Copies of this chain bind each other. A is one copy, B any other.
Amino acid sequence: MSPTPTLRDVAQLAGVSIKTVSRVVNEDPEVTEATAARVRSTIEALGYRPNPLARSLRTGRDEAIGLVVETISDPFFAAVTETVEEAAREAGLFLIIASAGRTPDQERAVVLGLLHRSVCGLIVVPCWLGYARERLPIGPGGVPVVFIDRPPSGLEVDTVVVDNEGSAQRATAHLVAHGHRRIAFVGTAIERFPLRQRLSGYAAALAAAGIEFDPALVVSHARSADGDAPLLSGVLSLEDPATAVLSANAVASLDVVRHLHGCARTDVAFVSFDDFPIAESLSPPVTVARQDPALMGRTAIDLLLRRIRGDASAPQRLVLPTTFVERGSGEIAPVRVARAAPDAGRPTRRRTRAAAIPPCSTTSQR
């Protein structure tokens, strides 16, 4: 009758008390099967659905979990989200996705918004907020939380990250093994986690190979004045230019691809941290250290569900591996270049081709 029927409507129509209906809804065994059946059919007839708001207000907990990411337009987190979603659905939980925005205040508002909506668990990519300082009612004693992709500094909670340092180290060592000594590191926000760890791995691999770390080979969107300008032009036009490139994430990888393809520079070796859609069909196909977003999502939600169900064991810090996929671009040998004449060592064909293509310092067409 009423637009959205309530317990009262059902109770009235079934000729029982509100509480009895509530019991049936919550599958309380202390109800006669006869009345339960009658109530159930009334519920069906009225199309009654429990109001999660009222329920949460009462219990202080909703049958929902929250997922906070920096931006859902990041393909990696989109993939993570998809897995979490699937798992939440299986577990009968409503998934609320929200994104953290661009400032600590926005992120705090989002987390608090979720918390105040009484989610029973939270998966968070900590972006801008110092969770140790905030003293939010999360983690042990509060609403269960699992942090993913980045650890929240100084907080003892469950965390799932990938092996950033080790993977970057391996990728760099791979390039070194193929003869490169001038390897550029390209990223979009190098100063922050997880790119900082990838930079560490890169540096560690260089050190292990006895190659000096050259800051001139490390480029970041954050440092460049024009974010849209190809990051690579600089390092490829140094007096002693880079012969190989390691990109720090998929976004940077696309920039690298755009630039290398724009210049037809198939002589530059390239390894991408993280896979991207057409990496395998470019020429040459791009060698990648592939992250597994599904594994991250699955691991995080499994951990969270355990916590929600009461697991109070010590917080875990899980580190996921990456898969190194050799496809070609990472196995290109360096072209030896004389210091005095940067172009001297290039094969003739390249030179000819390079002369035929337009200059490469401009941004690509839009």
- A residues contacting B by CB (< 8 A) are 3-4, 49-54, 56-57, 62, 64, 71-73, 75, 78-79, 81-82, 85, 89, 94-99, 101, 106, 110, 112-113, 116-118, 137, 254, 257-258, 261-262, 276-278, 280-283, 285, 327, 364-366
Contacts and interface: CB of A to CB of B under 8 A. Distances in A.
15 contacts: A53-B53, A53-B56, A53-B116, A73-B75, A73-B81, A73-B82, A75-B78, A82-B99, A94-B98, A95-B98, A96-B96, A97-B99, A258-B281, A261-B282, A276-B277
Contacts of A278: 254, 257-258, 261, 278
Contact of A89 (B94, B106, B327): B106
Given A73-B79, A96-B98, A262-B281, 14 more contacts: A4-B116, A52-B113, A52-B117, A53-B53, A53-B116, A72-B81, A72-B97, A73-B78, A82-B99, A85-B99, A89-B106, A254-B277, A261-B281, A277-B277
B280 A366 contact: yes
Nearest to A96: B96
A117 B62 CA distance: 10
Interface centre among A94, A99, A278, A285 (most CB of B within 10 A): A278
Contact of A117 (B53, B97, B112): B53
As for how many copies of this chain the complex holds, the number is 2
Contacts of A117: 52-53, 117
Contacts of A110: 94
